[in-house]
Amino acid sequence: MPELHLPNPDRTISAYRLTGTPIPFEKHAASDFPRIAYAAAHVVADPLASNDPWLTPAIDWDTTLAFRHRMWDLGLGVAEAMDTAQRGMGLGWTEAQELIRRAQAEARTRPDALIAYGAGTDHLMPGPNVTIDDIIRAYEEQVGFVEGQGGRIILMASRALAVAAKSPDDYARVYGRILGQVKQPVILHWLGEMFDPALVGYWGHADHNAAMDVCLDVIAAHADKVDGIKISLLSKEKEIAMRRRLPANVRMYTGDDFNYAELIAGDEQGHSDALLGIFDAIAPAASAALAALGRGSDNEFFELLEPTVPLSRHIFAAPTRFYKTGVVFLAYLNGLQDHFAMIGGQQSTRSLQHLSELFRLADKARVLADPGLAVERMRRVLAVNGVV
């Protein structure tokens, strides 16, 4: 197996020899899986564009869309224009609209393309003069755009609502208005403050359990318009507690990038489906594991997926909002894009130590598709940072 030199936490540099046998890329259909599984997909930057990366996103559309087809080939759905795509963190509503248009056009070219799109209020700047009616109109604009393209909705959390709401009743009013208008059931997304600090106190409570009560009341009042809810609180206990209280026809889509294997497997009282950013990075492993679960091979499911959990916990380590850097870094190591550049220059948000440990954990998880290529590309990153 190939070898390279990597920095250690004590600032020494030592040889690391790869040991993982890559999980092969094998096509699957979504019908092979006993769970619905969406991968929240990243966008690929165009590093050759003449732009100011912090201010104006430049996107490599061909590579970005090819990545969506890769997810579909593996049987995974695509959760489009979400936080993994740097929505509201580099990708603005203008660029998101173009992404949605293009992704929906690609989805129409194949019968097996499961895809849903984030709709929120990120084109509305939060502030003291923003009213609840302004927020409703902003949601209506984005929902109307997605539905106008023929797409399904993932109703994203609103930074503007987190600022403007005076009580849980304001959340009930906004969500009630939007859910009353949607053409087909949506997936709600409760994104925790660890992913986006601007969303602290969402649903009108800083305490997650109290916030959960508000959210469940909203779902119960509009259960026919809610396909499911994705919660991203990085707490399996909270997810399980909420899952057990959902109406019978409403799914729990795990957003827990720390505990997804056991949550997807479930227990005697139920299971979670999946809508995960980590599935972007570990797609072949996720696909193979879900197919094994579909065959009734629980042991194989855990053998494939559990080794990816330490990698995911590292990628999503605090500050969690910088997890996209690790996702894109793995895409680069695996040859899915030719560079390690991100819109907004966010390749700089993680240290060389972080990326080095990510490399080791990816090898142990068997998600480096071509170890030789991964070593070559890791060496390039090391060299740029003075490690030769």
Q: What is the pLDDT of residues 131-151, one digit of tens each?
A: 999 999 999 999 999 999 999
Determine the pLDDT at residue 164: 98
How far is residue 111 CA from its own chain's centroid? 23
What confidence score (pLDDT) does residue 141 get? 98
pLDDT at 388 exceeding the cut of 90: no
192: exposed, middle or buried (C-beta count within 10 Å: 0-12, 13-18, 19+)? buried
For residue 195 the two structure tokens come to: 């992913």
Quote the pLDDT of residue 325. 98
pLDDT of res. 1: 78
Per-residue pLDDT at 370 exceeds 90: yes
Tell me the angle at which helices 352-364 and 323-333 cross, rounded to the nearest 10 degrees.
Answer: 60
**Is pLDDT of 304 > 90?**
yes
Q: The domain spanning residue 296 has which CATH number?
A: 3.20.20.70
Confidence of residue 25 (pLDDT cuts 50, 70, 90): very high
Cα 216 from Cα 228, distance rounded (Å)? 11
Q: Phi-psi region for residue 247, left (φ > 0), alpha (ψ -120 to 50) or beta? A: beta
* Whether residue 288 has pLDDT greater than 90: yes
Overall domain count for the chain: 1
Span 164-183, mean pLDDT?
Answer: 98
Range of the domain at 219: 3-384
Sign, CA dihedral 308-314-253-246, equals positive
